[in-house]
Amino acid sequence: MQEYLGKLALARDQSDADDKTFRIGLISAVDPRLMRAEIAFGDLSVSSISATDVLVLKDKNRLYQDLLTSASIMETADFKTVFRVSLILEKPGQVAVLEAMEMLKDNPGAASLAMVSLDTGLSVSLGRQQGAERGSRR
């Protein structure tokens, strides 16, 4: 779970009835048992949000692979946005990640292609952690 701390994420705006508006925030804490994350936003507010409502960027290599394999079924606008995001992520640093997030926060279709929900990532991490614990007991 430590790998998510300090990572930029998109959080669904809890006040939006359509669930299509996102806010950019920083993951400040993760509770894998409750599947919740504490997200700090630019206005200095902090919210506890369900891990299903928090999106993190896919690894840039996986994103590029998904882009190539899914190009034929993507909407053109979503393809262009995800392609731009993949190019931006080639730059090092959090500034590039922030720039990518800015592009994705207003485009839910592209966000669903370029990002994965935190609960998916937590489930994978928990599985790895439990497997490692079983392996160390042998």
Give the pLDDT means over successive 10-residue stretches in the chain (138 positions): 87 71 93 92 93 92 90 92 94 93 92 91 60 53
**What pLDDT is attached to residue 129?**
55
Secondary element (H or E) of residue 13: none
Judge whether 131 lies within some domain: no
Residue 21 belongs to domain spanning: 2-123
Q: Do residues 108 and 117 make contact, with C-beta atoms less than 8 angstroms apart?
A: no
Helix ranges restricted to H, the chain: 60-70, 76-88, 94-105, 108-114, 118-137
DSSP, collapsed to helix, strand or coil, labels residue 5 as coil
Q: How far apart are CA 126 and CA 121, in angstroms?
A: 9
Tell me how many domains the chain contains. 1
Here the CATH number for the domain that contains residue 76 is 2.30.30.140
Judge whether 33 lies within some domain: yes
Q: Which residue has the tokens 């506890």?
A: 48
Judge whether 40 lies within some domain: yes
Q: Do residues 27 and 16 make contact, with C-beta atoms less than 8 angstroms apart?
A: no
**What pLDDT is attached to residue 27?**
95
The model's pTM is: 0.82
Pairing of strands 54-57, 46-50: unpaired
**What pLDDT is attached to residue 16?**
61
**What pLDDT is attached to residue 49?**
94
**What pLDDT is attached to residue 135?**
55
Judge whether 76 lies within some domain: yes
Picking from 15, 17, 11, 120, the residue whose alpha carbon sits closest to that of residue 59 is 120
**What pLDDT is attached to residue 45?**
92
**Cα first-last separation, the chain:** 24
**What pLDDT is attached to residue 5?**
92
Q: Using the Cα atoms of residue 89, residue 93, residue 96 and residue 99 in order, give the sign of their dihedral.
A: positive
